[in-house]
Amino acid sequence: KKCRIYHQVTIADGNVTIGDYTEIGAGAKILSGVKIGSHCHIGANAVVVEDMPDYSTCVLSKPRIIIKPKPN
């Protein structure tokens, strides 16, 4: 719920799960079978090829997932 998905985002067909309060930047691509946790950020033109835990960020076309600690 309450996700923000910008223009030209591609979400592959098949078992993609997107958590709550997630933001997906313009032109991002999410491959099939990927699970994205809650409160995640995906940068513009990023390609998500693996699962993202809660409160993480994915940037660049060659994915790099940055895990941030949960707020108290």
Reading the chain (72 residues) residue by residue, the pLDDT tens digits are 799 999 999 999 889 999 999 999 999 999 999 999 999 999 999 999 899 999 999 987 666 677 777 777
Sheet harboring 41-42: ordered strands across? 4-5, 23-24, 41-42, 56-59, 64-67
What is residue 22's predicted lDDT score, i.e. its pLDDT? 97
| Residue burial 1-19, b: 16+ Cβ < 10 Å; e: rest | eeeeeeeeeebeeeeeebb
